[in-house]
Amino acid sequence: MKGPLECLSQARFGIVWGAIGSAMCCYDASVKYAKSRIMFKKPIASFQLIQNKLAWMLREITKAQLLAFHLGKAKDSDKATPEMVSLGKMNNVDIAMKVAQMARDIHGANGILNEYPVMRHMANLESVSLQGTHDIHNLILGRWITGISSFE
């Protein structure tokens, strides 16, 4: 990854991994909360919709980890391109934001309290999503796929 996009690509590469950390923290907090929050005389972790959300979160985090690992291997062998980093950043921030939103849902009204890490991660993820929006990343990927730039 050499050239004018190097600095931006390095920052985005860090975000690829940081987004996973945020998602994992939200997931871990949700599992802990769901096991301890009692409703109708049983933990909400026993409810089908909560289990479905937790399973979805784990699946998406695992996919994000695999993408980041693949990107890291490409970077270690000097085969990573700015477009690959852009794809990883867009994907992992998107997944992490959805995980954080789902974690907030699991926490209910408590999800917005400082007592739990969910809202802090939601705000942080929102800020990094602005460092190259989905639209910009899709334009970068579109140029990479087609070889034709849609912007100048």
Least confident among 54-58, 65-69, 112-116: 112-116
pLDDT at residue 1, as a whole number: 46
Residues ≥6 apart with Cβ < 8 Å to 127: none
Is 1 within the bounds of a domain? no
CATH of the domain at 78: 1.20.140.10
**Could you tell me if residue 135 is inside a domain?**
yes
pLDDT value of residue 5 = 61
- Return d(Cα 111, Cα 83) in angstroms, integer: 35
CA distances from 71 to 58, 76, 92, 97, 124 (A): 20, 9, 12, 20, 22
117 within some domain:
yes
- Looking at the structure of the chain, the number of domains it has is 1
The yes-or-no verdict on residue 17 having pLDDT over 50 is yes
Give me the domain span that covers residue 21. Answer: 17-144
Q: For residue 97, tell me if it sits in a domain.
A: yes
Q: Given pLDDT bands bounded at 50, 70 and 90, which one contains residue 4?
A: low
pLDDT tens-digit readout, 120-141: 999 999 988 877 777 888 888 8
Residues 6+ apart with CB under 8 A from 41: none
Q: Write the burial class of residue 118 (CB in 10 Å: 0-12 exposed, 13-18 middle, 19+ buried).
A: buried
User: Nearest-CA neighbor of 13 among 66, 64, 77, 82?
Assistant: 82
State the distance between the two ends of the chain, measured CA to CA, in whole angstroms.
Answer: 21
Instruction: Read off the pTM.
Output: 0.89
What integer is the mean pLDDT of 81-106?
96
Q: What is the mean pLDDT of the chain?
A: 93
| CB of 84 closer than 8 Å to CB of 144 | no
For residue 30, is it within any domain? yes
Exposed, middle or buried, 47 (CB in 10 Å: 0-12/13-18/19+)? middle
Q: Residue 8: inside a domain, yes or no?
A: no
Considering the domain boundaries, does residue 125 fall inside one? yes
Q: Which residue has the higher pLDDT, 131 or 117?
A: 117
Residue 79: how many other CB atoms lie within 10 Å: 11
* Res 67: pLDDT: 98
In a domain, 3, yes or no: no
